[in-house]
Chains A and B, each alone.
Chain A
Amino acid sequence: MYARVMERITDVAIAGVLWGFRIAVVLLVVVGSALTLGGGRHSAESWLSLIVSGAVLGSIYALIALGYTMVYGILRLINFAHGEIFMAGTFGGYFVATALSGIGFLNLNPITSIISVVLMMAGAIVVSVTLALLVERIAYRPLRNAPRLVPLISAIGASFFLQYTFRGFFGPGIYAYPTVGILDAQVPLGIEGFRVKWIDVLVIVSAVVMMAGLFLFVQRTKLGTSIRAVSEDKATAALMGIDVNRAIVMTFAIGAAMAGAAGVLYGLIFRQVYFFTGFVPGIKAFTAAVLGGIGNIPGAMLGGIFLGQVEGVGPTLFLSGLGVPSPNQLRDVIAFTMLVLVLIFRPSGILGERVAQRA
């Protein structure tokens, strides 16, 4: 009897808190947006700029999220170190760029600039993939059959180890990314007050191209099929003659390559890199992966773009109308609240299947 009553009370309390949460968020979003839009302090052009910056940020999140989502799909492991793999790519690109700008190649003419960006990406991808494979070999592979908490803690350890390794290598200072002249030029759109740089175009286009390529790779090629098979069921895939280890290593490599490329794009936009660069984008990209439905590649793209928009437009739209001082300080709060909301209300994500998620 007592236990039944207690159970009932907990159920009611949970339902109450959840509903309160929903109502509070909806109220905040609706009232905040209405007040902001009613206030009319922001022009249409500034909204457009926010949307573009959200899309740029979202593309980067999406590229990082692919690594999380693929590794989670195949190993059921949150690869905490993935944010650091991304940071390593940013550093890799930085050193290639400084070398190129040292010999005057970087900004010699538009063609060399484009070659330079490609070289930076290549360098970043090499660094990221090497590091990811090392982490997989050392910290994850021996723990593949351990209880789930064990590799998760190992992943957190790997994340910190890499962060402070880079701090040891390159010091705590912030490195300023070299500028690529042509990418900073405006795209001639002819709309007054609305500016788009070529770098924004580059980020969005290259993200879309890479993700489309990845999607085709995973759907059409033999290796892609083997990756999908292993993430469905390792044991059966192995019985069908698939090299499970190879599929897992490929997954890490592909995810790291995407993260490395994203690292260069991030560096070109935000113009800086230091050892902690990967941490926050890493968590957000994971949020994007969960948002889209973890294990789902198109989901990661969708989640990334969506999160980018929420973060780009959200603070101004929801908060500035409520009179919150410096709402942009709170953009990470919005992103993390988003994460918690998704985990609570739709843990399978936007595109995820509604499978039993509790285990």
Chain B
Amino acid sequence: MDDTRIRFGDVPWGAVIRVGLIGAAVAIFLCLVGIVPVFHTRPLIKDVISLGQTSVVLALLATGLVTARTADMRGTLSVLPGAVAGAIAGAGLTALVILGEVINVRAVFLNASPLLYGILTFGSGIAGSWIAIVIGAVLGAAGSVGARLPTSSRRPLTTFVLTLLMGGLFAGILRTAMLSTPLAGLGRLLFAPLGLTIVGAIVAVIAFVGASELFHYTRVRDRVNGMAPAQQRLVTWPLLAIAAFAVLMLPHALGPFVAQVIALVALYVLMGLGLNITLGLAGLLDLGFVAFFAVGAYTVALLTGTSEFGIADWPFWAAIPFAVLFAMVFGAILGLPILGIRGDYLAIATLGFGEIIRILAGSDLLSPWLGGPHGILNVPKPIAVQPTHFLAGPNQIYYIAIACAVLIAFVAWRLRGSRIGRAWLSIREDEDVAEALGVNLVQTKILAYVLGAGFAGLGGGIFASLVGSIFSSSIQLFVSINVVAIVVVGGMGSIPGAVLGALFLIGVPELFREFSEYRFLFYGAALILMMLYRPEGLMPTRFAAREVHLESQELGADTVVAAPTEST
């Protein structure tokens, strides 16, 4: 470009103002929904910035970034559109503060409290309401600079932001872990009980940005791919061994609270892998996963019964096969009639099943057998050991869940390549074509559904033992939604995706219990965003990734695709 100076009239101001207004809407939403004030209690870097402030900062940065993408301007003043959009977004917050001064917004929105206004004005009251505009402009400009940078310099910046976020979130846990080791002093230096210390932030950023630049993922991968197979094995096997060792040691390194959390994560990995067969391979959207989870949980609770409801006094290991079996039988009974109906009706029918089971479990009708809302207590642990033993408490559940998850992953992996697995994939892609090619739809679907139900029953049985009790209130819709979200976010049909999904969607929220009310807000947003921008999931199978990739290659971004005609 010859003339590098930006001309005022060249800027698409309409688009800039629109992005700014959307940014303002997002920022105000973050405030009113309570994310800003509630997350303000948790520092990211001690005495510098809180998580609540971080959410606004990220929204304003994103405003600048999107503006720079929309209004693609070059030259010395190219940050101007970003700064303007950021300022507009910030002005939204200013308007909120002023509005709050004039009328009582709190009569409607609970979070429009003096606390919120204090955060937005840095405690300076209405007089400081303009600060948000300035910060918005600065961050908007920064965001648009970020968008403009070449990849080589944007990458460390992204790492920088991610390191701060992760470090701040997990500081407390890392600190606890380090306090019991010789590194206790270092732990105190780097991490506050909540959030990073300033020193910690600097050290973490330098260490991670440096490391990621030195050993960048793609560079390492290219290097390993370039090696001879024998050498490759020399690299990958020790890495796998270290990873496996780390997975096994995790509950001991991070203390009992984290052990409980990762046991739950492992349990959801297991169930996610189960639903992965139903939803990921066969494409059956099952929103009634909790029904089979309940069957498994109650079976184990009743068969191992040390409580008044127990009908047998079996050990856990004898009860769990029956939990799986009953769940599968149940799956067959429910599945046989409904699998003939078409896909989207299946979702609502299974949702109905889940609700039926939930209500029945808590009803007076079944409470003489299932304990109703008072539940069944004293479900024994699988292995009776001393409280100080290596396998005590949630640890053994963790190992059992991991073992089962590995087993299911193996089964799913082998099934996918088999005749039945290919039949599932073909049903997922197009039922009519699959049927025309000789796939027996109902049989094939039943098999997927029953397998999924069995794994749900296994998960339920282990859950009953993990918690040590089962109440009708544990049988909730959110169990089904959790599992569906794990599979969708991770990538339908993808095994590592299910692990990643469970870590993000179960592990992270469990660690931040104080924010648990926002968990499903994030799930909902995650489901929508995944569908909009990455429907194949975070870690798609090679098959799905290739499919998407091929499509975009063949069609090109701007080719108009004819709308597929309705198949009904």
Contacts and interface: CB of A to CB of B under 8 A. Distances in A.
B509 to A, nearest CB: 12
B355 A332 contact: yes
B110 A76 contact: no
Interface string B97-128: 00000000001111100000000000000000
Contacts of A76: 344, 566, 568
Given A17-B333, A143-B531, A154-B527, A329 B359 contact: yes
A169 B337 contact: no
Contacts of A150: 531, 535
B488 A153 contact: yes
Contacts of A164: 517-521, 524
A133 B362 CA distance: 38
Interface string A315-359: 000000000111001101100110110011001000000011111
Interface in A139-155: 139, 142-146, 148-154
A88 interface: no
B110 A159 contact: no
B389 interface: no
A153 B107 CA distance: 34
Q: Is the interface of B mostly helix, strand, loop or mixed?
A: helix
Interface stretch (B28-36, B141-149, B157-165, B259-267): B28-36
Contacts of B567: 359
B523 interface: yes
Contact of A152 (B34, B285, B336, B364): B285
Given A169-B109, A235-B565, A157 B365 contact: no
B353 A340 contact: yes
A139 B529 CA distance: 8
Given A95-B108, A168-B34, A355 B568 contact: yes
Contacts of B341: 343-344, 347, 357-358
Contacts of B110: 169-171
A276 B125 CA distance: 35
B524 A168 contact: no
Nearest to A142: B532
Interface string B314-334: 000000000000000000010
Interface string B129-143: 000000000000000
B564 A145 contact: yes
Contact of A156 (B484, B518, B519): B484
B348 A286 contact: yes
Contacts of A191: none
A290 B345 contact: yes
Contact of A168 (B33, B359, B443, B488): B33
Contacts of B342: 347, 357-359
B443 A157 contact: no
A18 B345 contact: no
Interface residues of B, number: 68
Contacts of B33: 165, 168-169
A163 B520 CA distance: 9
B202 interface: no
Given A6-B443, A339-B349, A340-B338, A325 B111 contact: no
B191 to A, nearest CB: 29
B150 to A, nearest CB: 29
B557 interface: no
Contact of B337 (A17, A287, A326): A17
Contacts of A95: 108
Given A343-B338, A343-B345, A153 B565 contact: no
Contact of B431 (A146, A162, A359): A359
A153 B442 contact: no
Interface in A1-55: 3, 6-7, 10, 13-14, 17-18, 21
A280 B561 CA distance: 38
Interface string B543-568: 00000000000000000010111111
Contact of B285 (A139, A149, A170, A234): A149
Contact of A144 (B343, B351, B440, B563): B563
Nearest to A164: B521
Contacts of A344: 337-338, 340-341
A88 B273 CA distance: 36
B100 to A, nearest CB: 15
Contacts of A146: 531, 535
A168 B518 contact: yes
B525 interface: yes
Interface string A61-79: 0000000000000001110
Interface in B447-501: 481, 484, 488
Given A158-B528, A358-B342, A339 B535 contact: no
Contact of B347 (A3, A78, A359): A78
Most buried by B among A6, A171, A336: A336
A307 interface: no
B397 to A, nearest CB: 28
B527 to A, nearest CB: 3
A160 B527 contact: yes
Nearest to B347: A152
Most buried by A among B352, B353, B526: B352
A161 interface: yes
A153 B348 contact: no
A168 B111 contact: yes
B258 interface: no
Contacts of B518: 164, 168
B200 interface: no
Contacts of B523: 157, 160
A108 interface: no
A280 B363 CA distance: 17
Given A144-B563, A161-B528, A340-B338, A326 B363 contact: yes
Contact of A160 (B333, B524, B566): B524
Contacts of A78: 344, 347-348
A139 B356 contact: no
B520 A160 contact: yes
B380 interface: no
A273 to B, nearest CB: 13
Most buried by A among B344, B353, B568: B344
A118 B283 CA distance: 46
Contact of A326 (B111, B333, B336, B364): B364
A124 to B, nearest CB: 14
Interface string B278-308: 0000010101000000000000000000000
Q: Which 7 A-B pairs have the closest CB atoms?
A: A157-B527, A161-B524, A168-B33, A160-B524, A164-B521, A336-B352, A154-B531
12 contacts: A13-B336, A14-B340, A17-B333, A78-B344, A145-B563, A152-B285, A156-B484, A164-B517, A164-B518, A233-B566, A234-B566, A290-B348
Interface of A: 3, 6-7, 10, 13-14, 17-18, 21, 76-78, 95, 98, 138-139, 142-146, 148-154, 156-165, 167-172, 233-235, 280, 283, 286-287, 290, 324-326, 329-330, 332-333, 336-337, 339-340, 343-344, 347, 355-359
Given A150-B531, A357-B341, 13 more contacts: A17-B337, A149-B343, A150-B535, A152-B347, A157-B530, A157-B531, A164-B519, A165-B29, A169-B111, A280-B355, A324-B365, A343-B348, A347-B342
